[in-house]
Structure 1
Amino acid sequence: MKVGVDLSRCAGHARCAFLAPQAFRMHGEEALMYDPNPDDAWRGQVLRAAAACPVQPILVDRPEARHAPAEASPS
């Protein structure tokens, strides 16, 4: 799993650090630090943390979506 955070949008609410401390942590009161490649075992917590953020700066790569076959468009 790959995680990215647009740090220019992060407002330091720290919900991600509370919900997925394996992947996110606060350094001081405002600086977010994160693991860009957290273990897949933490996928559920990381996805919940990303969804809980009020400003939505967290992106989680979903490999299953990249490899899914494209649906044929109706003719």
Structure 2
Amino acid sequence: MGDRWRVEVDRGVCIGSAQCVHHAPAGFRLDTGRQSHPVHAETDAGEQVLAAAESCPVEAITLTVLGSGEPVFPPEE
């Protein structure tokens, strides 16, 4: 993939399902309130982080390409 992504979690939407932690344990953590947050706000593009975003049942995770801001997930409609 080669790109770097900005990873954001909308904590107002997150329901704490922990699917992100399951798919990308090095990329996401749940806090004491069971709200997800990225371990790093910027990361190398990767299948695990993308799988984490895609598996979120409420689409609380947003991935964008650093620099351009091009959406990775959710994709533009």
Q: Show structure 1 runs of 4+ deviating over 6 A.
A: none
Q: Tell me what 1:37 maps to.
A: 42
Instruction: Measure, in 2, the Cα distance between the counterparts of 1:59 and 1:33.
Output: 11
Number of aligned residue pairs: 64
TM alignment of 1:1-75, pairs within 5 A: 1-28=5-32, 30-34=34-38, 35-38=40-43, 40=44, 43-62=46-65, 66=70
Q: Which runs of 5+ in 1 are unaligned?
A: 67-75
Structure with greater Cα Rg? 1
User: Please, what TM-score do these two structures have when normalized by structure 2?
Assistant: 0.70
Overall identity of the aligned pairs, in %: 33
RMSD: 2.1
Distance 2:33 2:19 in 1: 13
TM-score (norm 1): 0.71
Tell me which protein shows more strand as a share of its residues: 2
